[in-house]
Amino acid sequence: MKKIKFMDVSFRDGFQSCYGARVKTDDFLPVLEAAKAAGIDNFEIGGGARFQSLYFYCQEDAFDMMDRARQVVGPDINLQTLARGANVVGLVSQSRDIIDLHARMFRKHGITTIRNFDALMDIRNLAYSGQCIHNAGLKHQVVIALMGLPPGLNEKYCHTPQFYLDKLKEILDAGIPYDSVAFKDASGTTPPTIVYEAIKGARKMLPEGTIIEFHTHDTAGMGVACNFAAIEAGADIIDLAMAPVSGGTAEVDILTMWHRLRGTDYTLDIDPEKILEVESMFIDHMDKYYMPPEAKEVNPVIPFSPMPGGALTANTQMMRDNNSLHLFPEVIRNMREVVAKGGFGSSVTPVSQFYFQQAFANTVQGKWAKITESYGKMVLGYFGKTPAEPDPEIVKLASEQLGLEPTTEDVHDINDRNPELGIAYNRSLLEKEGLATTEENIFIAATCGAKGIAFLKGEAPLGIRYKADVEAEAAKKAAPKAEKAAPAASRAPSSGNYMVTVDGRAYNVTVAEGTGAVQSVAPAAAVPAQVAADSGDGKPIEAAMPGSVVAVEVEVGDTVSEGDTVLIIEAMKMESPVKSTASGKVISIEVAAGDTVASGDVLMYIG
C-alpha cells in the first residue's frame, strides 16, 4: 500500500480562504505545536496573503511569526511559504534586488521551501525568482498554475493537459533550478480528468524520483475527486487542511481524504484519533474569529467564473463592508468574459484580482466602459506574456485609457528602471521616517507600501474581524428596526431638528410635533475633509468601486492634470490609484485616509 504524503496548509491557505488571512500568531501556535506532536511534519506557514495581512490587519511582524513557528516545530520540520514569482509576496511586481532579498530574508527566518508560481505562466517570471530561491539555500518548488476554463469558451489549447506539459518543458529547457514540482489550482475548477492527464504526463517527463505535489480547493466541490485523480496519476504529496479551515473555499480536510483512501491501494500515514484531537483544539482556538458563511460553501457557480478560494472570501468581506455584496453573483457572471478577453491567465492572485476588479467595473459602470489599471496593464504585457493573446479591442481600449503602448519586454527590466522600486528607494523611505534601515524593514516597505511604513511607525490599525464585533455590528444595525417596530407610546418624541443624509448629501431637517411633517429643509453646514473658500461645484472625481481610502495624494489648492493620481483606494485586495478625470485646481476633498467609500461616491472636486 502506497503512503501518500500531505502538506497541512491550515496555517496559511486555510487562514487566507476562511478568515481573509487575518489571524493572530498567539492563537494558532499552540495548534501548530499539537499538529507536529500528532505526526504532521510538513506545513505551509506563510507567504501569499499571510505576509501582507499581518502588517495590514494584525499589527504583527511576519518575520517574527516565521521565527516563532520555527521555534515551535524544531529544526527538522518542512516549513513552506508561497511566492508569486516577480511579485514575491505582494500584489505588484518587484525589481530584481527585492526579489533576491525576499529569498534571503525568508531563509534567514526559518523557511525550508518556497513554492513559486506565476499566474500568467510566463517562464521569465519564474526563472529569476527561482534562481534566487536556490541561491539562498532554500528548496524551490516550481509551480504549474492550473485553472478550469469556464464552459462555452472557444479555447482549445490554454489550460489543457498539453498546455501544462508544454509549460513544464519550457521550465526544464530554461534550466530553472528546482527541488520539486507543484500543480496548483487555486480556484478548484480544473476537472479531475485534466488533473490526471497533466500529472501523468509530467511523471513521464520528469527525472525519476522527482517529487510532484498537487494543490486544489474544494470551492466547486471537486477537491476530493481531483486529489484522488492526482494520486492515481503519480503525485507524491497533496495539500490538505484541518477543521475549521477545511472544505468550501479551503482545501479538503485531512480526515475526509483519509476516509476516501480507505479500501484503496493508498493511505495517509496518520493516526486519525490524534488528528481528531488537534482539530477539536483548533476549532476552540479559532472560535473568536468571524468566518463568513460563503467561506465554507461549495459553490457550483465558481467553475463559470473562476474565483480562487483564497480570494473569494477577502472579496466578499470587502463587498459586505461596502454594502455591495448583492452585486457578487453578477460580478462572478461577468468574470467569464473578463478571463477570456484577458488572455486566459490562471485565476490566482494577483491575476484573480485583476479579473475581479474588471468584472466589478463591468457590472457597475457598463461593460468595458472603464478598463481598470491592473487589468489594462496585464493585457498590455506589463506583468508578462498572457497564455493567449488578449482580445485586440480590449488591448486597444486599455492602451487609449491608460496611455500605455503594448509591450513584450521582460518585467524585470521594466521594474529595474522604475525609480520607485528597489532597495535604494525603499531605504530612502525608511530614512525619511526615521526608521531603522534593516533588510527586513526594506522588504516590508517594498512589499507593503504605506501600510508597511505605518506598521513600522506603530500606527497600523487592527483590522481583524472577531465574531463578537460582527455580532455587535449586526445588533446595532437591527436596533433602528426594533425602534421603528416599537409601540408609538414607547418611542422618543419625533419633533425637533435632525441632520439626515440623502445620496451622500447632509441636510438639516425640522419636524413638527405630532404630524411628522417636514417644516424646513436646508443643506447642512457639514464641511468636507478639506474645502477651499471659493470652492464652487467643480468636476466630481468618483470612486469606481467600493473600498477604503489608503492615501490622499493631493491637497486643496493643488493644481493637477488629467490622468494624475489624486488618491489611493484599497479595493478587492489591491491598492488602486484614482486618477483625475480633469485638469485644474483641487477645490475640495470629500474623504480622508481610512474612510470607506462606495462605488460612485464623490471623492473630491476639481475646478
Identify the pLDDT of residue 127: 97
Distance between CA atoms of residues 352 and 329, nearest Å: 16
What's the whole-number mean pLDDT along residues 149-162?
89
Residue 489 predicted with pLDDT over 70: no
Name which of 85, 92, 9, 89 is nearest 49 in CA terms: 89
The SS3 assignment for 396 reads: helix
Residue 502 predicted with pLDDT over 50: no
Q: Which residue has the cell 527566518?
A: 109
Name which of 32, 38, 36, 2 is nearest 14 in CA terms: 32
Distance between CA atoms of residues 40 and 6, nearest Å: 9
Within 17-72, strands assigned E span: 42-47
For residue range 169-181, list pLDDT tens digits in order.
999 999 999 999 9
Name all domains of the chain by residue range, CATH numbers in brackets.
Answer: 2-292 (3.20.20.70), 539-606 (2.40.50.100)
Candidate from 238-242, 265-269, 318-322, 441-445 with smallest mean pLDDT:
318-322
Sign of CA dihedral 103, 106, 110, 114: negative
Identify the pLDDT of residue 500: 44
Provide CB contacts within 8 A for 28, sequence distance 6+. Answer: 11, 15, 282, 285, 286
What's the whole-number mean pLDDT along residues 500-504?
42
Residue 583 near residue 563 (C-beta atoms within 8 A): no
Q: What's the grid cell of residue 497?
A: 431638528
Top pLDDT among 467 and 501 is at 467
The SS3 assignment for 296 reads: helix
Top pLDDT among 70 and 560 is at 70
What's the whole-number mean pLDDT along residues 580-600?
83
Phi and psi (nearest 5°) for 417?
A: -85, -15
Distance between CA atoms of residues 83 and 117, nearest Å: 6
Q: What's the grid cell of residue 204?
A: 513521464
Identify the pLDDT of residue 89: 96
What's the whole-number mean pLDDT along residues 136-146?
98
Query: With the CA atoms of 420, 424, 426 and 429 taken in that order, what torsion angle do they form, in degrees rounded to the nearest 10?
Result: -100
Distance between CA atoms of residues 305 and 343, nearest Å: 14
Top pLDDT among 502 and 357 is at 357
* Cα 560 off chain centre by: 32
Burial (CB < 10 A; 0-12, 13-18, 19+), residue 78, is middle
pLDDT band, very low/low/confident/very high, at 197 (cuts 50, 70, 90): very high
Distance between CA atoms of residues 492 and 250, nearest Å: 48
In order of 102, 171, 261, 351, the CA distances from 147 in angstroms are 27, 19, 25, 12
What's the whole-number mean pLDDT along residues 273-290?
98
Residue 161 predicted with pLDDT over 90: yes
Average per-residue pLDDT in the chain? 88
Top pLDDT among 572 and 145 is at 145
Cis before 350 (ω within 30)? yes
Q: What's the grid cell of residue 462?
A: 487592527
Query: With the CA atoms of 481, 486, 488 and 491 taken in that order, what torsion angle do they form, in degrees rounded to the nearest 10?
Result: -70
Distance between CA atoms of residues 513 and 427, nearest Å: 64
Side-chain half-sphere of 7: how many Cα atoms within 13 Å?
29
Identify the pLDDT of residue 499: 41
Identify the pLDDT of residue 505: 38
Top pLDDT among 317 and 279 is at 279
Distance between CA atoms of residues 569 and 547, nearest Å: 6
The SS3 assignment for 69 reads: helix
Name which of 190, 194, 175 is nearest 131 in CA terms: 175
Q: What is the DSSP string of 309-337?
A: HHHHHHHHHHHHHTT-GGGHHHHHHHHHH
Residue 531 predicted with pLDDT over 80: no
Query: DSSP alpha helices (H): ranges in 160-222?
Result: 161-173, 192-205
What's the whole-number mean pLDDT along residues 132-149?
97
Q: Can you give the pTM of this predicted structure?
A: 0.83
Burial (CB < 10 A; 0-12, 13-18, 19+), residue 151, is exposed
Name which of 117, 128, 94, 181 is nearest 345 in CA terms: 117
Residue 495 predicted with pLDDT over 60: no
For residue range 385-414, list pLDDT tens digits in order.
999 999 999 999 999 999 999 999 999 999
Candidate from 4-18, 19-33, 141-155, 537-551 with smallest mean pLDDT:
537-551
First to last CA, the chain: 75
Identify the pLDDT of residue 310: 58
Residue 487 predicted with pLDDT over 80: no
Distance between CA atoms of residues 574 and 49, nearest Å: 11
Top pLDDT among 43 and 554 is at 43
